[in-house]
Chain A
């Protein structure tokens, strides 16, 4: 029996080997039945696919791309005749309709079409809006006069229809003026309502646009998603991934265009939290004139639905730094845009994408708008580990954080790989008598200074005015860290002393207060300098953690 058992065991092993080879040679395959229907070329506008495609029974309706209200947009092959925004009446008889939306031309048109444009007896139509409202063109009767920003689709598709230079929009500015849009240059201008321009009516598709490529899947800076015109702009400074459009919206005013005397202060001052700023501005009255006057730039982003997303907002002044830092990988590399950060009753902050500089400007000034949105993209979360960086200037957390060195309290100090644009130490208020003494005079404890300043009113003016520089550091989330603060003056000097591996920092604010009206800054040469709190210089946030054990 013994020889037979041994032979049997050998045979089992041989069988196993055969079985394994059989699996290795496995083929995978699949067969599936498909049916395709090839149809005659349709004239229905719901079926068009490519910008410039024509539809309608006479093929004279032109698809001009996805609009800013979440629907596909069409226009007429030929513009409607020249007419006035109002009925042609003179300035003295004009009526303010309070139709300000830059996005929702359909609602604007519906309102204007029934609103009296003139104080003369009887109802005088708004001629340009009525021209679209009453239009039946190539089988469609749902036309409207495009709103100011909605008109950007006309600019983008101008090669595909008989575009004329300047056309009316349905966006009013004030009692006497409305916006006209130059289809060739994308410029909005302020025109008297009794001026005459052609009308380029548009209509919207019936179905909402759905993002064809989810922005959850982006992996690289500058990568497009959604409809191909939504771009990943990099890690934002509020912790999420930031997205923007591949184009600037046309110019707009920060407010509705009202003059300084009637402007309203909103106290929307955050440099970091543009989403909250925008939500507040979008419903706040910008002007003491009768009725609600919108904040045009913020409202444009707030009401925009584009690429399948409707969570767009106007970035805060400091938040916009991402658009500058990563501009080389983004389609929009220049432009002075509105931010959602107010300065005062009459001014707000603009951001220069090309230089990273922030300036203040009158709310009634015109500047382009660059809407952004943020979302968490799991694959883009920066690795939160900076403990292994030991070289001055060494980067971590996805490159957004730099190691500075170990300070005299044995803490490892880090800063951001970028500097924030210039900011006020206070909210920008220049009236000394209303400034508030905070008592945050520590020269070494920036962490405590910042925490206190971020929660303190900077000004006795009605409402709460933030301490701008400290709030930027206090609110930001970069590299996965949320413990940033504005350095006290001695900590700023530590930064300067270890500047060898760091990018040029320049003059920066410290969190150390000097008096009711002044705080201490560090010059580009490393010297202390006491400056008025409403001075604008850069902000360089830092954070610290326990040093590694030896």
Chain B
């Protein structure tokens, strides 16, 4: 009893199936992830469902289908659900039409969660910061059009987004303020594998994500060329952009700068507080480096 209470109400989903029959079918994929097992209890929302369908899922997880729910029924899942989705190899994901709340089930992966789901209407306006895997989450959910721009800063721990919007043809989300700190470049299939599978925002350049950035953007370019013996100075802070969805305490006065890979041209240094790169170049050559700005 005490164990059940501990995990009560963490995941709440509403079934609003199109079927007009008294009973409707819902499929859920509840799995473990990265060595962590699933340990979940399902409330199917109807006496018939709870009496006739599987309610306990443990271990590595499984796919469960219950045909005894009703249109408009809320299905609740409690316990530990590391991955809400079937993963890479299943052709389709969960068949719910709305997710009302992600609760606190230790969710880490939404791999394939709504793959091919053409019933899906809405998911919560944010996502748990425990989530690290968004592979295939909306792949082929071709009618799903909810604006997910509000997920932005909550994605700070996500490390994989392969095929996230592949075939999600109705998606117009502005991704320019999605936290993409863990991505140097566009994940494979992120906005479609090929022509015909691109979401609508594929053609809206300004809405594309800013890879490697989260809440703040560095200037796009430095003065590309400098000459030896000629003093050089460039202030990174002057071109810094704080995103509108960055935490309220974010300010250019508190950020610090460092070179995280490569090296500045000999003779130049970066002041970590002022963000000024300055000095007199001493050696001819081409120099590539990565600069990081951050505020903790």
Contacts and interface: CB of A to CB of B under 8 A. Distances in A.
A37 B291 contact: no
A7 B286 contact: no
Nearest to B295: A28
A409 interface: no
B281 interface: yes
A29 B5 contact: no
Contact of B292 (A7, A31, A40, A47): A31
Interface in A49-72: 49
B61 interface: no
A29 B290 contact: no
Contact of A27 (B8, B103, B294): B294
Interface in A16-34: 18, 22-24, 26-34
Contacts of A47: 227
A29 B215 contact: yes
A215 to B, nearest CB: 18
A31 B260 contact: yes
B224 to A, nearest CB: 6
A103 B255 CA distance: 48
B295 A38 contact: no
B9 A8 contact: yes
Contacts of B296: 27
B218 interface: yes
B213 A8 contact: no
Nearest to B128: A19
A39 interface: yes
Contacts of A8: 5, 8-9
A32 B260 CA distance: 10
A24 B249 CA distance: 9
B132 to A, nearest CB: 15
B285 interface: yes
A290 interface: no
A540 B5 CA distance: 84
Nearest to A33: B290
B14 interface: no
B156 interface: yes
Chain B contact residues: over half helix, strand or loop, or mixed? loop
Chain A contact residues: over half helix, strand or loop, or mixed? mixed
Contacts of A40: 227-228, 284
A18 to B, nearest CB: 8
Of residues A15, A31, A35, which shows the largest number of chain B Cβ atoms within 10 Å of its Cβ?
Answer: A31
A261 interface: no
Interface string B211-229: 0111111111111111111
B287 interface: yes
Given A8-B9, A34-B288, A36-B286, A29 B228 contact: no
Contact of B288 (A24, A35, A42): A35
Interface residues of A, number: 29
Interface in B109-134: 129
A11 B9 contact: yes
Contacts of A30: 181, 210, 212-218, 292-294
B247 interface: yes
Contact of A41 (B103, B218, B230): B230
Contact of B181 (A4, A7, A29, A36): A29
B283 interface: yes
Contacts of B103: 15
A38 B129 CA distance: 43
Given A8-B8, A29-B214, A34 B226 contact: no
A29 B264 CA distance: 20
Contact of A32 (B281, B291, B294): B291
Given A22-B129, A41-B228, A42-B227, A28 B294 contact: yes
Contact of A39 (B104, B129, B216, B228): B228
A32 B215 contact: no
Contacts of A38: 225-228, 265, 281, 283-287
A223 to B, nearest CB: 17
B80 to A, nearest CB: 14
Contacts of B214: 27-30
A324 B269 CA distance: 46
Contacts of B246: 26, 28
A478 B210 CA distance: 48
B30 interface: no
A36 B225 contact: yes
Given A34-B222, A36-B222, A42-B227, 8 more contacts: A7-B8, A23-B247, A26-B246, A27-B294, A28-B214, A28-B247, A30-B212, A37-B286
Interface of A: 4, 7-8, 11-12, 15, 18, 22-24, 26-42, 47, 49
21 contacts: A11-B5, A15-B10, A24-B247, A26-B215, A26-B246, A27-B295, A28-B294, A29-B181, A30-B216, A30-B293, A30-B294, A32-B290, A32-B291, A33-B289, A36-B223, A38-B226, A38-B281, A38-B285, A39-B228, A41-B227, A49-B230
